[in-house]
């Protein structure tokens, strides 16, 4: 199930940001400026939500995963 791997990483990423921000300013800075997920973390901290484009991509990926898995 590819859907679960995609969806479940985001809460753990947010938890990691919260933990790292409490433990080390250096790690917090690294997470915020990481090229892969830094912009998503910064957006979450500012707006408390996923960017609109990410929401749409997740919905499409979930739908495609269901179609592929169940053969609809």
Average pLDDT over residues 5-18: 70
pLDDT tens across 14-33, in order? Answer: 787 788 778 888 888 888 89
Average pLDDT over residues 5-19: 71
31 within 8 A of 39, measured Cβ to Cβ: no
Angle between helices 2-23 and 38-47 (to 10 degrees): 70
6 has a pLDDT exceeding 80? no
Average pLDDT over residues 56-72: 83
Measured between alpha carbons, how far is 72 from 44 in angstroms, rounded to an integer?
34
Mean per-residue pLDDT over the chain, rounded:
79
Q: Token pair 């919905």 is at which residue?
A: 59
């Amino acid at each position: 199930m590819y859907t679960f791997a995609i969806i479940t990483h985001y809460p753990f990423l947010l938890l990691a940001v919260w933990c790292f921000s409490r433990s080390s300013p250096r790690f917090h800075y690294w997470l915020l400026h990481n090229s892969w997920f830094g912009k998503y973390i910064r957006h979450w901290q500012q707006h408390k939500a996923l960017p609109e484009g990410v929401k749409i991509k997740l919905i499409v990926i979930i739908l495609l995963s269901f179609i592929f898995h169940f053969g609809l």
